[in-house]
Structure 1
């Protein structure tokens, strides 16, 4: 869990590798051609979450109850607003510069001028929603009391947790770390 630019996807990738779990990316399930939401999004999210174990990003309010029913823990990347804004801007500029293809729909970042013309441009969206998760601990306690909430306020905290987690996992498998 985290707002745009917090590093949810990268963190989920790393955790999935460490735990050797399947990972599904919510943006990939959600976005179709022309940046339109896929009609099958909720069905696809339900199917992915139906497996025994998985890792994903906590995104899209319509899918949250589906994920919450099957999840055991939530990791909240609650980094500073300047850090998140820097990361989302850097990521957006890199995607635009490289014309990287995004998700199965093959989407690409729009021209940079759309930052000024599109209300929901990702950088504007990130700024507008930068405080949306400030009440998350209360929401989780009230709506999803079975979830264990881990909150990291810096990338270093998150990296240390992953390293510790990886270390324990590797030792359990009998490998040197």
Structure 2
């Protein structure tokens, strides 16, 4: 997998474990490259934390990706082939377990206490976020290792050979990578 930014991506997918910083990185890149940012969570979650049907979700994602230039973040397997078949670059945030856990704890606590609106009026509830079977923290623990194994294998599959893959394993590596194209702007 490549560590540097080999070309200026026009259609970028950012993947990684919950809490790794996908949306934060996507926003930075979108702003720098002046391209639309698409959050899969915003397309998936309806009011009251109700999931969109698979058909509706797939239609929303297909519609969102109609442009020539975009950056999208998220890990939904239901739409993975739609996203990755159209992407030219994929960025895999593969940070250490404890770093991701710390980031997720801080983010979840902040969102819960400030009652920040996420998507479609949804807000994180401190009880559900920390202590329920639907806990985002529990989800991260359950999926962390699986994602670390899944993505490198996935990017080796023949249907994804067209992707320029950027594998970032630390925030320092991410900063260095961002600097490698910071002065470059796509047209």
TM-score normalised by the chain length of structure 2: 0.85
Question: Deviations for 1:102-151, whole angstroms, at most 9, x for unmatched residues?
Answer: 12x111111336522x2221111111111122222221111412111101
Note if contact 1:58-1:64 (Cα within 8 Å) is conserved in structure 2: no
1:110 match = 125
Structure in which a larger fraction of residues adopt strand: 2
Encode CA deviations 1:57-76: one digit per residue, 9 max, x unaligned: 13210111110111001001
Name the stretch that deviates more: 123-132 or 5-14. 123-132
Partner of 1:167: 183
Unaligned 5+ segments in structure 2 are 1-14
Q: 3-state SS of the aligned residue for 1:68?
A: helix
CA deviations on 1:148-167 (whole Å, 9 max, x unpaired) are: 11011111111121122111
Shift of 1:168: 2.6
- Tell me if 1:22 matches 2:36: yes
2:83 to 53, 67, 71: 67
Question: Once the 2 structures are TM-superposed, how far is the Cα of residue 53 of structure 1 from its aligned partner?
Answer: 1.1
Instruction: Say whether 1:11 aligns with 2:25.
Output: yes
**1:76 counterpart SS class:** strand
CA-atom RMSD in angstroms: 1.6
Q: Decide which of 95, 98, 102 is 1:86's aligned counterpart.
A: 102
* Contact residue 92 and residue 165 of structure 2 kept, 8 A: yes
For these two proteins, the number of residue pairs brought into alignment is 169
Alignment of 1:8-157 (within 5 A): 8-39=22-53, 40-103=56-119, 105-112=120-127, 115-116=130-131, 118-135=132-149, 136-142=151-157, 143-157=159-173
Structure with greater contact order relative to length (CA < 8 Å, sep ≥ 6): 2
Q: Which ranges of structure 1 fall in alignment gaps of 5 or more residues?
A: none
CA distance in 2, matches of 1:102, 1:2: 19
Question: Structure 2 vs 1, CA of residues 159 and 113 (structure 1 numbering), >3 Å: closer, same or farther?
Answer: same
SS at structure 2 position matched to 1:24: strand
Query: 4+ runs of 1 displaced by more than 2 Å?
Result: 111-116
